[in-house]
């Protein structure tokens, strides 16, 4: 026979062994609950007031700075050409390593990597590669 520390004897050979075991388990559970009641007390024995749950900081995280689009800065060709939309221009393109081709017309639009010209006396549109432009003449 086994004497347990919860003041009840436990006999593993008894016909009510399961009931005895459950009583012992209930006593352990009660002891755990009693211990958790005193878990928040400091060693001095004074009770600690319950802690308030912390509220997460609701400030907005710093926003990343927007990346300027090419042409939005003064130093880009797109920005310079945007000032002359509607003007008559002649644009010279470098094709390959040594061939220069020029196109003339009204500058209609400037994109990130293209410009649109309308040749004189036509309704056609000429879409040109911005990165092969070498010279632009603006007629006033």
pLDDT in tens, 70-118: 556 677 899 999 999 999 999 999 999 999 999 999 999 999 999 999 9
- What pLDDT was estimated at residue 97? 92
Q: Which residue matches tokens 């009583």?
A: 23
> Would the pTM count as exceeding 0.95?
no
* 3 state DSSP class of 135: strand
CATH 2.40.50.180 fits 77-139, yes or no: no
| Domain definitions of the chain by residue range | 2-37, 77-139
pLDDT in tens, 21-66: 556 656 666 666 656 655 555 556 566 666 776 666 667 777 787 7
Separation between Cα atoms, residue 85 and residue 110, nearest integer Å: 8
| CA-based R_g, the chain, Å | 43
């Amino acid at each position: 026979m086994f004497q347990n520390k919860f003041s009840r004897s436990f006999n593993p050979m008894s016909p009510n062994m399961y009931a005895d075991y459950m009583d012992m388990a209930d006593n352990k559970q009660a002891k755990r609950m009693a211990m958790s009641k005193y878990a928040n007390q400091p060693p001095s024995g004074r009770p600690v007031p319950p802690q308030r749950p912390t509220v997460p900081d609701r400030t907005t995280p710093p926003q990343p700075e927007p990346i300027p689009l090419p042409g939005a800065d003064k130093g880009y060709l797109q920005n310079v050409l945007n000032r002359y939309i509607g003007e008559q221009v002649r644009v010279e393109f470098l094709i390959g390593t040594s061939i220069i081709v020029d196109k003339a017309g009204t500058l209609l639009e400037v994109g990130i990597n293209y410009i649109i010209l309308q040749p004189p006396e036509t309704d056609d549109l000429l879409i040109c590669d911005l990165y092969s432009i070498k010279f632009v003449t603006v007629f006033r």
